[in-house]
Amino acid sequence: MSVTLFTKDHEYIVVDGDAGLVGITDFAQGQLGDVVFVELPDLGVQRKKGEQAAVVESVKAASEVYAPVTGEIVAVNEELTDNPALVNDDAHGKGWFFKIRIADPSELSGLLDQAGYDALIASLT
């Protein structure tokens, strides 16, 4: 069974076993506006929790996407290269950025659950 967790920087990770799909939240894509470009990480690279792993650019701004946990990039969503608007259309589905193999599962305890993330959003609006 998978579980979705969130960072305070508006990334999500859908954890399934020892890996997780990472993207930006629906709130984040809404703040960015129309996404026009996504720079994905290379396969096999290691990222530490909080390190920049990808970049998303919109008509308004460019923003870094940070690794929510330490691990190895084991897959990237190549569809975003040709169709970056998937981030706007389906941020929590087809708009994922990369899959990371989780090196230290204890890092997940520092992330927010849905209720915690909803409270964060409520404090910003």
Strand order in the sheet with 35-39: 35-39, 52-58, 62-66
> pLDDT tens digits for the chain (125 residues)?
789 999 999 999 999 999 999 999 999 999 999 999 999 999 999 999 999 999 999 998 899 999 999 999 999 999 999 999 999 999 999 999 999 999 999 999 999 999 999 999 999 87
Listed by start position, the domains of the chain span 3-124
Which are the contacts of 106, defined by CB distance < 8 A and separation ≥ 6?
A: none
* Residue 94 burial by Cβ neighbours in a 10 Å radius (0-12, 13-18, 19+): middle
> Does the domain formed by 3-124 have CATH 1.10.3720.10?
no
Spatial separation of the C-alpha atoms in residues 76 and 49, rounded to whole Å: 17
